[in-house]
Amino acid sequence: MSIILCDPSAERAVLAGICRYGEDAFLDVADIVQESTFTIDSNGILFKCLKSICDKGHSPKIDMASIYSAAQDEGVSHILAKKEEAQHLKAIMDFPVSLENVRKFAGKIRKLEIARLLKDQLAAAQDSILEVTGNESIAAILNIAEEKIFDFTSLLNDVENNPISIGKDLSSYIEYLASNPISQVGISTGFPIYDQAIGGGLRKSTVNVIAARPKTGKTLLADNMGYFIANTLGVPVLNMDTEMTKEDHIHRILAMVTEIEIKTIETGKFKDSADHTQKLQVAVKALEQAKLFYKSIAGKAF
């Protein structure tokens, strides 16, 4: 039994909302839906006309005349001229919908569009899988599905990527910055000089690389930063390691926090000192509560 990934009623509600409330409704859904979001051809054509009207800054109320005029400009007037399409348009114009619900319906049909796109991507992956000969590596076979998913996510991220004015809403943005001062833009690593060197801590949309010769303390530095971010700032941290085990990281973090030698901790000799035992108990409790996670990626391809 096939699943129909569409909702004609929700599509009609979005179009009816734009017709009834004009730009107020259109701007509320313009970042979610586009012509291809609609599964019924006439709905996609009507959205194209409504978009044309709103883009030109017409009056908030949209009537039949303005729609037919836009259809003429878009070269689709012959479609709307058909009797059944005219009846369909009138039904949409009369369809009751509140402004606050228009975006909810838009979100629904957008999710259905995403499901349809994903279905197509997975179908393409299935065709590629049928070409497998058995001489490929397991990683190469798994990569068939991964590539389709990555391609799919790139499609979602680039649905609307038109140029925008840098000066748009600039005054409001500056006012926001003035009203919401912060001490640092990114997430602090716990090392102020390093934070300053990379532009104010770990920032979104950036990658920070620390390179050094083997056995010079890169892992210890990562553990130090990770523990600080997870424990002090409460930000979840995932440490993916190609070599060391979970226990290796535990020993290093506890040694770092307590200032007890790693050898003393991993051999269990800390029990001979009441001071060491007490320090470790405090450190263990803090580490247990920290949002710090570990995953081994030994042997994995980049």
User: What fold characterizes domain 192-296?
Assistant: Rossmann fold (3.40.50)
The full DSSP string for the chain is -------HHHHHHHHHHHHHHTHHHHHHHTTT--GGG-SSHHHHHHHHHHHHHHHTT--S---HHHHHHHHHHHT-HHHHTSHHHHHHHHHHHT----HHHHHHHHHHHHHHHHHHHHHHHHHHHHHHHTT--S-S-HHHHHHHHHHHHHHHHHHHHTSS-----TTTTHHHHHHHHHHS--S-SSB--S-HHHHHHTTSSB-TT--------TTSSHHHHHHHHHHIIIIIS---EEEEESS--HHHHHHHHHHHHH---HHHHHTTGGGG-HHHHHHHHHHHHHHHHS-EEEEE-TT---
Name the residue ranges covered by the structural domains of the chain.
8-154, 192-296
**pLDDT, position 12:** 95
Query: What's the pLDDT band for 2 if we cut at 50, 70, 90?
Result: very low
Mean pLDDT, the chain, rounded, equals: 89
**pLDDT, position 193:** 95
Q: How far apart are CA 148 and CA 125, in angstroms?
A: 6
pLDDT(198) > 60: yes
Least confident of 88-92, 103-107, 114-118, 161-165: 161-165
User: What fold characterizes domain 8-154?
Assistant: DNAb Helicase; Chain A (1.10.860)
**pLDDT, position 148:** 79
**pLDDT, position 23:** 87
Residue that the structure tokens 């950036």 belong to: 206
Digit-coded pLDDT (tens) for 244-273 = 999 999 999 999 999 999 999 999 999 999
User: What's the mean pLDDT in 2-21?
Assistant: 89
Give 297 or 164, the one with higher predicted confidence: 297
pLDDT(160) > 60: no
User: What's the mean pLDDT in 90-97?
Assistant: 91
User: What's the mean pLDDT in 36-56?
Assistant: 91
User: What's the mean pLDDT in 129-146?
Assistant: 87
User: What's the mean pLDDT in 220-240?
Assistant: 95
pLDDT(161) > 60: no
Query: What's the pLDDT band for 59 if we cut at 50, 70, 90?
Result: low
Least confident of 17-31, 83-97, 153-167: 153-167
**pLDDT, position 1:** 38
Give 150 or 267, the one with higher predicted confidence: 267
pLDDT(71) > 60: yes
Tell whether pTM > 0.75: no
Query: What's the pLDDT band for 100 if we cut at 50, 70, 90?
Result: very high
**For the chain, what percent of residues have pLDDT higher than 90?**
59
